[in-house]
């Protein structure tokens, strides 16, 4: 527990109790939990207050916890050059929660919010240009959600006949795979496909070495 961060957390929660609901520490950083409707007010305070002066917004990122009712965390990472400190502000949001944009507080937030919208689907009210930024404009879904399929929904290829890039539904040659999690160095305890030529029937899966 860092005493300086503890004092700072007590100061912020005391000054804005409705905006900073909780202050904890992790990896020598202060973490504040903030309701969505107060995030712009809290970030303005952290930027301008003389005891804070977190003048740089280094990132806005997201995290998905599907088991929670408010499944998303929107995380704001701030840096104070004056006090050489970092702070994180977490806002919890459900799938239908609209989080106020902080682009008017930190101009860099505009693109960061676009990334969170693109990858997680969290809406930001007041963002001047909330469009996809990392995926294609016609992309279906939000790829960093835990329930998004790893294969995606479409695949892209160049069609020689049409002389253009085409999008097609994903086609898997093997829809389901069975993993035995055995060590490849020890070998499988069954005959692998293609190893039917193995001569040692008492040790399936291990081919008998020929002399020479």
- CA–CA gap between residue 28 and residue 62 (Å, rounded): 20
Polymer length of the chain: 212
Please tell me the predicted confidence (pLDDT) of residue 38.
Answer: 96
Tokens 């400190």 sit at which residue?
85
* 114 neighbors 120 (Cβ within 8 angstroms): no
pLDDT on residue 212: 46
Instruction: Tell how many helices (H) and how many strands (E) occur in the chain.
Output: 3, 9
CA-based diameter of the chain, in Å?
84
pLDDT at 176: 56
Structure token pair of residue 87: 């702070």
Backbone torsion region of residue 8, taken as left when φ is above 0, otherwise alpha when ψ lies between -120 and 50, otherwise beta: alpha
pLDDT at position 15, please? 95
Which residue positions in the chain have pLDDT lower than 70?
Answer: 172-188, 190-212
Q: Give Cβ neighbours of residue 204 (< 8 Å, ≥ 6 apart).
A: 188, 189, 190, 191, 198
Contact between residue 91 and residue 116 where contact means Cβ atoms under 8 Å apart? no
pLDDT score of 46 = 97
The token pair that represents 193 in the structure block? 């496909």
pLDDT of 183 reads 67
pLDDT at position 56 is 97
Q: How confident is the model at residue 157, as a pLDDT?
A: 86
Cβ atoms of residues 38 and 18 within 8 Å: yes
pLDDT at residue 74, as a whole number: 98
């Amino acid at each position: 527990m860092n005493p300086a961060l503890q004092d700072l957390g007590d100061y912020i929660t005391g000054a804005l109790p409705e905006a900073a609901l909780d202050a904890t520490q992790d990896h020598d950083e202060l973490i504040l939990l903030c309701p969505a409707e107060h995030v712009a007010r809290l970030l303005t305070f952290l930027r301008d207050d003389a005891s804070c002066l977190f003048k740089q917004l280094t990132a806005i990122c997201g995290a998905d916890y599907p088991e929670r009712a408010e499944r998303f965390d929107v995380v704001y990472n701030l840096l104070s050059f004056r006090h050489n400190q970092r702070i994180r502000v977490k806002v919890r949001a459900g799938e239908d929660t609209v989080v106020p944009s902080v682009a008017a507080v930190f101009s860099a937030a505009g693109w960061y919010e676009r990334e969170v919208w693109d990858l997680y689907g969290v809406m930001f009210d007041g963002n001047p240009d909330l469009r996809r930024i990392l995926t294609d404009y016609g992309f279906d879904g939000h790829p960093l959600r835990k329930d998004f399929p790893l294969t995606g929904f479409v695949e892209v290829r160049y069609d020689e006949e049409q002389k253009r890039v085409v999008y097609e539904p994903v086609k898997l040659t093997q829809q389901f795979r069975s993993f035995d999690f055995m060590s490849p160095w020890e070998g499988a305890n069954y005959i692998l496909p293609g190893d039917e030529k193995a001569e040692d029937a008492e040790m399936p899966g291990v081919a008998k070495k020929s002399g020479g």
